[in-house]
Structure 1
């Protein structure tokens, strides 16, 4: 085991010697340190462990919450290093919950870790049913009062509009990905157990639910109505948060719970604030929750009846705030209401560019929603010239390639390269595939591929792209998982994951009668050839 310790020690020392120069480098360092501690933490000496955790604490402010959540997912089930679990457990609630709902530790490690965890972490663990009996007893001994979430942090007043563009659409886009996956998987699943229909609850002055009646305590205890949850995560909506801040009545707000089939899912709740009769001090909320009626489900219909329509409606609603943000930025950039300083105009230009990029992503999501559940179909009557499409995309990618110092080398074999496919969808398929792979290439490397038009039994054109080093050994299941984050993934790839992009490409290809194959050495996009067949040409010559 000595060589393992030496290797891990030297890797940590190498990482710590290189101060991250930018956000991407900080993300890479965070992932590397997390992976080393998860896999080899028990073999490291105390000094290196302390140095690694100190570095993680410093890096945390520069690493997006989504990246931290993705890392928690990646290491929670195979990592056995209790200090790393405790470190993630004391992150923001979304990251803490991601780690603690999945972590697998020895009984002794759980018992040693509990006293060091915050009330947020204990509230999450209280909802698990697979912990050892002794750990459950330890949680109970801490008392119901300790099972609480902290009050939400107040955002800095000078947070820029760029942060809004970067974070808010990303969380909503993640919800769309989950909804698409849920729709695809639900068609083959049996109907869930009949859920409970109502419950009572009471919160403390901090908005944390401390008492429930009618459902399992772990499903709701520790949940806060004072902060809105990320899309699809357990918690309440913004309407409840706004009412809480005003100490106003909450009427038919939305709540999402996790837990057993009887407790989990969507609820509607109403609540009234209550005050100490003697002092008038605010004491919290008391309320009731019920299952939503059919006409209260998102977008006016049950999700199972037409999930595609509800996804498209959500996309429509996502565009509205994005267009508003972009519109205000254009007003600032164009100085339509008067002179604006150069710094603000530069920020506005950046927001406009970011909004345009997010708009492109939303367009991809809309295409995915339309193609959800598509089975292989016949080839399109339209014809696209893939050689022309490739030349356009190579030109479009030139700034990205220069920025990330990556070369793109796609050779042509045979020809012509005419495919039975819609021209716009061809650009979308090829562009999304290449962009997703460029985003995970290391700086200074070359992305290599071939566009092939050779006669074959299936008469398909092929675009073969050699796997970049970051996914050289990744399984097909990993590459199609929207939570998969390859080492070195570019910040621009964080909004739509590699897995989602590959599934979008495959879905569009199957709609055109083709497919995306994930091979051991390369990813190959197949599209039906529209080239004249050799036997057809020969027949024509004999006819003459």
Structure 2
């Protein structure tokens, strides 16, 4: 049967359509039983016939054989057709896991995104899709609505390429039909839907890099945008990553795009795209890709965050405290042998758990303080409380002795002037000094000496200063780097990964500002400023002497 079909060259469009249907049906039903030469010749014939067969016929064939499409080479052939044809085949094809894995490298991003939207594929296929990157599984293909539009009528006596010569491109025709379908829907968009921020869309560009087709956002926000040139100064467009890849006809991964328009469309996006070429001539035809909103980890420090981010953190902290307290409490029961004798090894393990729980509790307290510092709730409810900062620094030095020994770092903080009475809450003062010194010890090199000064320059000075010389690992880092949670200097100790240097410095600054002070990041040193209580004490003494 295959040999008979291949022997007859189709004389007209009707014969081409008939040969396409027959070959597709035979391969779908008996492809696994055919010889390699027959399979090769059949697939080659289908590739030759495809430009002569109308898209509507190819869609009908895909729909007819998709349910029993278990021959991987045929599925791969249909998967590399136009999106409307490929989506029908890929939504219904039933292949083994090995066949899917073998076929994935030969499919394009649009085809793989359709597969990512399916829920009945083998688990190994989803792992393979994820490993191919965001451009490969960026978005599921939109529902194929083009079936609502009738297929163009082509005369049977027309030349094989008449439809291509006299009509528009397949993509343009697809866009026209999608627009027609959407315009016929009777359900108007509600005001809430218009203001809801969209999260993803598909697009296609021409060979000049200008977007001429889009689905998922308002057309006016993207149509006409170029990925071939970088936009500057916050203007709508793409970044230099996309422009550079376009010049090389290379794959674009997670490039940045800025859009203007309605609140649902405007803002920052991340997009990935692949170049596509004419299968007959090899000519570059443009890019096909998908865009999404950036993940939280992709947004640089300093960008606006959601208004309820503090509430979310506080809720998370509340849910962390209960199990932590339960674990710590049970460990204390074991360590104290409250329910009976316990072996020494178990008591040692329980003591370790209690110590670790205390460390985690400190971290949770820091997170809660940072969340509250961004709200209207004051962090320090009693800023007029007087605390001896000299005693606080000495106590913190004693508390950090174990960490200093473990890191093999020496700490030397001298006193200049005095007394060192400050206006701050005692607990917050200990937290500020402790968190600042711990963070700097964590990023210090082994064998380094951390040098500092506690300074009050005159009895009437309104500020106390705790100056710590920068460790060598951050000697030349800018202030923006030091405040960035993602900054990781060389030599950073394992303990620094729990709460980053940037988080710790911002926490110290928040606590200091709540008490009327600040943290300055200078070229040579980091300086914690706190309001001094010396002038108040001196003024009170002078008033008593005057009486």
TM-score tier after normalising by the smaller chain length: 0.3 to 0.5
Larger-gyration structure (1/2): 2
TM-score with structure 1 setting the length: 0.44
TM-score with structure 2 setting the length: 0.44
